[in-house]
């Protein structure tokens, strides 16, 4: 069974740095063609892609947020970590991590975590 | 940058109706297009990838078509459990991944 689960703070203050961890099971991030990405969704709004890391440690970011994001992986722990600096109330959203299979599903996210709601407020 | 648009933004249809949602890319993206269903309060679910391949376990009333810039998601016979917001997503060129704005589907 393939699962992903996000963890991190539910509340952060403006200007703080957010660190989210995606812990997954049932697949390996060292397998060719596998990636894990982060997507967020503000309340009542659309999905927004943030970042993606591949099996070979290639990293891609949303251009509009690139300066604030860092994505890393720990293959031995089956974890992917996203950090976002200088948090603002507009960053309030549910943050999802999801598996991406670039060869098998042409870059679609086939399995998603349950999501974690992050509120940015003083 | 490649932009993704969806139409309509919302629709209301009767049970059993054929429903079509359109997704358009501002530049060609070959077949690197996926469709997701998100029911209220739930996690997005992959329906279609590579523009027309049905994800395992997804009912056959869902189908996708298109290539290049114009894509469609069709529900052949709308069911009450299909009430959801549907998103398209591209994977190709810069930016690497973009989601469409979504189409909300309700039952009339």
Integer Cα distance of B64 and B47 in angstroms:
9
pLDDT digits (tens, 9 = 90+) for A21-72: 999 999 999 999 999 999 999 999 999 999 999 999 999 999 999 999 999 9
CB atoms within 10 A of CB B7: 13
Angle in degrees, CA A59, A91, B104, rounded to 5: 90
Which residues of A, range 8-37, sit inside 8 Å of B by Cβ?
37
pLDDT band at B94 (very low <50, low <70, confident <90, very high): low
Segment B16-65, tens digit of pLDDT? 999 999 999 999 999 999 999 999 999 999 999 999 999 999 999 999 99
* Residue among B32, B95, B42, B101 at smallest CA distance from B69: B32
- Integer distance in angstroms from the first to the last C-alpha of chain A? 39
Contact B87 A106 (CB under 8 A): no
Size of interface A-B (CB pairs under 8 A): 76
**A96: which chain B residues are within 8 Å (Cβ-Cβ)?**
43-44
Q: DSSP assignment, residue B55?
A: P
**Beta strands B97-99 and B84-91, pairing class:** antiparallel
Minimum Cα–Cα distance from B103: chain A residue: A46
**Residues A46, B100: C-beta atoms closer than 8 Å:** yes
Contact A112 B45 (CB under 8 A): yes
Beta-bridge partners for A22: A6, A80
CA-nearest of A57, A65, A62 to A85 is: A65
CB atoms < 10 A from the CB of A72, how many?
Answer: 13
């Amino acid at each position: 069974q393939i699962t992903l689960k996000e963890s991190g703070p539910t509340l952060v203050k403006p200007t703080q740095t957010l660190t989210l961890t995606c812990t997954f099971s049932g697949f390996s991030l060292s397998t060719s063609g596998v990636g894990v990405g982060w997507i967020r969704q503000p309340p009542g709004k659309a999905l927004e892609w943030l970042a993606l890391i591949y099996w070979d440690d290639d990293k891609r970011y949303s251009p509009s947020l690139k300066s604030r994001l860092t994505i890393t992986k720990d293959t031995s722990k089956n974890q992917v970590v996203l950090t976002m600096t200088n948090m603002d109330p507009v960053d309030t959203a549910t943050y999802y991590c999801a598996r991406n299979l670039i060869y098998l599903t042409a870059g679609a996210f086939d399995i998603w975590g349950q999501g974690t709601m992050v509120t940015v407020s003083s | 940058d490649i932009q993704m648009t969806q139409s309509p933004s919302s629709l209301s249809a009767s049970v059993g109706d054929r429903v079509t949602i359109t997704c358009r890319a501002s530049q060609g993206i070959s077949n690197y297009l996926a469709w997701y269903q998100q029911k209220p309060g739930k996690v997005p679910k992959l329906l279609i990838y590579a523009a027309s391949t049905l994800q395992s376990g997804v009912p056959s009333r869902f189908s996708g078509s298109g290539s290049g810039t114009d894509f469609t998601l069709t529900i052949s016979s709308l069911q009450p459990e299909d009430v959801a917001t549907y998103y398209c997503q591209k994977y190709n060129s810069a930016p690497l991944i973009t989601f469409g704005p979504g189409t909300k589907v309700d039952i009339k």
